[in-house]
Amino acid sequence: MGNGVNLIEILKQSFTLAVLLFCSILSFTFMFERWWYFRHADPKGNDIISGIRKFLETGNIQEAINFCQKSRSAIAKVIHYGLINHNRSRQDLWELLETKRQEEKLRLERFLGVLGTLGNISPFIGLFGTVVGIIKAFRDLALAGTGGPAVVARGIAEALVSTAAGLLVAIPAVIIYNYFTRRVKAVSVKMEVASTRLIVLLGAK
């Protein structure tokens, strides 16, 4: 590529870019995994409550349980857990539902810590690569002895690629992390609302 920046060659020679490439693959893998999980975990909670209301009004607990088992959503799992413990007192049932909500919340938050960490550390990895690249560029200038800025300019340009790569990995990871964090909060609220409505429908004392 003449005197231009050859990204393939830089990738081969730069350990930090290889690390950032791995981080990028890891980030997009977990992004897709969380997207796929939330497709099933976050339906409309009112639809589930409405679906079991008719069973509860006729006292058909088993049909309500079977209805919940057909859904993979976090809300359905919480309601299902409440239904199989419907004979408990109101206080005991609420505490059991609270533990189930916490359990489902942990599943919702799975891998989000990885995305958050990648979003935080990727710019620093890129900066580290840039610093190392600039050091190498000035070392090459010292060894060359002549050539002035022209000798070091290409090396610095290649070094700055690491900073750009770090930002390219970090920005999507941070955006997706914040997005799914909001989704977790929304589902948590829906689970709590569904729990309260379930207790009312069951008429627990």
Q: What is the distance in angstroms between the CA of the first residue and the CA of the last residue of the chain?
A: 77
Helices then strands, each counted (H, E), the chain: 8, 0
pLDDT tens-digit series, residues 25-58: 999 999 999 999 988 787 665 677 877 888 888 7
**Nearest 10 degrees: CA dihedral of 170, 173, 176, 178?**
-70
Q: Domain-by-domain residue ranges, the chain? A: 7-202
pLDDT tens-digit series, residues 74-119: 999 999 999 999 888 889 999 999 999 999 999 999 999 999 999 9
The helix/strand/coil state of 70 is: coil
